[in-house]
């Protein structure tokens, strides 16, 4: 029977924690690292609903993409997620920017979800990458946006002329800083999760299409990839917590 530290060590083997950003607080955060694991709950974000779900199924561990603790904890009321996890003996591990940067990580999962063929892994700054991909069929920009929306769900925002899309730069989550490099590599469009007003302006000035399909929507496929990896390695029960984007679009 694996222990929490075994799960942590295995994640480190394909998404090394020493590659995470300095500001990130990824890895082991709560619980007994030597506790044995029978059941794991997976989610993109750790929320009160995810913790309640883990309690209801008697999970021993929650694995998420986004960390639980980003800022110093000054109080620990009984209503807090940290308190509830500790009280119920549920450990927590996250794999954040280390999983973002992994060769078979978050971006790979998004490419697979969209049936994109990866042709190159392009470094933007040291340790941070996007994938350059091709599509089996060329789309107009509006058709590409429609395809992304139908595949991932959520709200899709975009900028650019209605040109043909064949080469796609993919960086899930917050990847607008890849715009210039994506343009340099000849990509027709940069697909990411988030984008500011100025990112859309910059894309228009550069002459590259820019598609922001939602932070949750572009990273959520990676949870299935994480489950697959752990299922293939350990004899534990893996459950996906029911979760959707916290953003309400009208």
The pLDDT score that the predictor gives to residue 125 is 86
- Span 37-69, pLDDT tens digits: 999 999 999 999 999 999 999 999 999 999 999
For the chain, the maximum distance between any two Cα atoms, rounded to a whole number of angstroms, is: 56
Q: Does domain 103-218 fall into CATH 1.10.357.10?
A: no
Q: What is the DSSP string of 92-149?
A: EEE--HHHHHSTTSHHHHHHHHTTPEEEEEEEEETTEEEEEEEEEEEEEHHHHHHHHH
Per-domain residue ranges of the chain:
4-100, 103-218
Same topology between domain 4-100 and domain 103-218:
yes
Reported as type and span, the H/E element at residue 164 is strand 164-170
- Span 14-30, pLDDT tens digits: 999 999 999 999 999 99
The pLDDT score that the predictor gives to residue 121 is 96
The parts of the chain modelled with pLDDT lower than 70 are: none
The pLDDT score that the predictor gives to residue 56 is 97
Fold of 4-100: 3.40.1390
């Amino acid at each position: 029977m694996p222990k929490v530290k075994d799960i942590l060590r295995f994640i480190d083997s394909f998404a090394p924690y020493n590659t995470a950003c300095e500001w990130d607080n990824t890895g082991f955060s709560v619980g007994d690292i030597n506790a044995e694991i029978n059941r794991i709950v997976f989610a993109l974000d750790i929320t009160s609903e995810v913790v309640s779900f883990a309690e209801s199924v008697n999970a021993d561990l929650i694995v998420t993409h986004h960390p639980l603790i980003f800022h110093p904890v000054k109080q620990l009321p009984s209503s807090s997620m940290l308190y509830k996890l500790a009280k119920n003996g549920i450990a927590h591990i996250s794999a954040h920017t280390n999983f973002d940067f992994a060769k078979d990580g978050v971006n790979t999962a998004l490419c697979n979800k969209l049936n994109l063929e990866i042709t190159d892994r392009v470094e933007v700054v040291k340790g941070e990458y996007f994938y350059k991909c091709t599509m089996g069929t060329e789309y107009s920009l509006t058709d590409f946006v429609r395809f992304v929306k139908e595949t991932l769900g959520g709200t899709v925002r975009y900028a650019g002329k209605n040109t043909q899309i064949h080469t796609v730069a993919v960086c899930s989550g917050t990847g607008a800083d890849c715009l210039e490099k994506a343009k340099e590599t000849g990509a027709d469009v940069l697909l990411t999760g988030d984008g500011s007003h100025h990112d859309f302006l910059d894309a228009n000035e550069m002459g590259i299409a820019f598609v922001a399909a939602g932070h949750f929507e572009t990273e959520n496929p990676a949870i299935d990839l994480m489950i697959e990896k752990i299922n293939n390695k350990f004899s534990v029960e893996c459950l996906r917590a029911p979760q959707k984007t916290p953003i309400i679009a009208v």
